[in-house]
Structures are given as structure tokens and as C-alpha cells.
Amino acid sequence: MNSGATAERVHEALKRRIMGREFRPGDRLDPAVLAAPLASSVTPVRDALHLLTGEGLVETRTSGGFHIPALDEPALKDLYDWSAELLALAIRGWPRPETATAEPGGQDDRSIADRTAAIFLSIVRRSPNGEHRGAVDRLNARLHAIRTVEPHVLDQVDEELAAVASAVAEGARDTLRRLSTSYHRRRRRAAADIVRAVYRAD
């Protein structure tokens, strides 16, 4: 078996599991334990964990080993602030004149986390700065597990996302700025409750 292909497969499988909340913040990720379920030897698992560390989805500790990063209220607020700042930068860079690039979608059966990621990527794709897309793509991965619990803490999340998607489709820059500010402020205020929901077992 091609070791490069194995490492890539293991990386994607572990990333999906982390984003899907199979592990909780602080959990230790032992390459030897993870290898068998992934049909892999330990080395590709360790390599994948190093890659995920670079992506912010895993951390290493001075005591040794790989762990899911711990999450607290200030850290979550920082993530929401960074998300708001990235979107504001991207919107500011949108080309003029503003023209609609997509139609608002109908029924979308994807999860809240997947829909949010897609909408935010659609915002940064219109920016001429390619770094915006890469930064939001990485941040989407880091926030994915958190976004899966937001509807348990916040109400009307579906309606909120629909309004953002509509503003993106219409190229309504000012409306989108306002909605993005409201979106992120709401989550910042609820950060403590969202952290508790992330740690709570399903």
C-alpha cells in the first residue's frame, strides 16, 4: 500500500472524526489506539496527527502526546472574533459593482455546521485575496464541532443562516456586514453556554 495515500486517507478520516465531535476537548489521541480502527500502522496516524496539529485541530503538550485542544470561553470568543474579522476583510474586498453571483438555495438538508461553512466560503470566494479563503477554510474546520451544538443553545439559527445566504446571493454588502456582526455577537454572548454544550456528552 502506498504510504503517502495511507497518510492522506488517515488524515481525512481523523479530521472527519474530530469535526464530527467523536472526541471531546482535552481527549488524548493515542496513535497506537487509533491505528487499528483506521486500518493503518502507527506511523501514518502519527504523521496525520502532526498535520492536524498544524491545522489547529490537535495540539501537543509538554507532558507528551496528542490531544484535542481544550476549549474555554475566552478561547471560543477569540475564534468568533477571528471569524468576524476575516469575513469583514473579505466583504471589504468584494469587487464593485456588486452583482449577484448565486441564487438563494431552497431546502438545504445539510447540517448547520456544513451550511455555515459553505456560506462563509461563498463570502470569501468573492474576495480578490486568496488568503481569505484559506484562512476561513481552516477556521471552518476548527469551528465545525462547535457549530454542531450552537442550535442547542441559540434559537432561530436556520433563519439566521438563510438571511446571510440571501445577502450573499444578492451581493448586499451592507446587509451582509450587519448580519455578520449580529451573528458573531450573538455567539460571543452565548460562548459560556456553547462551551458547556461542547463538553456535554451526547
State pLDDT tens for residues 95-137.
865 444 544 455 678 999 999 999 999 999 999 999 999 999 9
Angle at which helix 130-153 crosses helix 157-170, to 10 degrees, equals: 150
pTM of the predicted model, to two decimals?
Answer: 0.87
CA distances from 50 to 45, 61, 120 (A): 9, 12, 27
State pLDDT tens for residues 52-83.
999 999 999 887 899 999 999 999 999 999 99
Cβ–Cβ < 8 Å for 32, 22: no
State pLDDT tens for residues 155-196.
999 999 999 999 999 999 999 999 999 999 999 999 999 999
Question: Which parts of 38-108 fold into alpha helices (H)?
Answer: 42-54, 73-92
Q: Which residue has the higher pLDDT, 7 or 19?
A: 19
Q: What pLDDT score does 103 carry?
A: 44
Question: Which parts of the chain fold into alpha helices (H)?
Answer: 3-19, 31-35, 42-54, 73-92, 112-124, 130-153, 157-170, 173-189, 191-199
Q: pLDDT class for 202, splitting at 50, 70, 90?
A: low
Residue 56 Ramachandran class (φ > 0 left, ψ -120 to 50 alpha, else beta): left
Q: What pLDDT score does 13 carry?
A: 95
Longest dimension (CA), the chain: 55
Q: Which residue has the higher pLDDT, 26 or 100?
A: 26
The backbone torsions φ and ψ at residue 186, rounded to the nearest 5 degrees and listed phi first, read: -60, -45
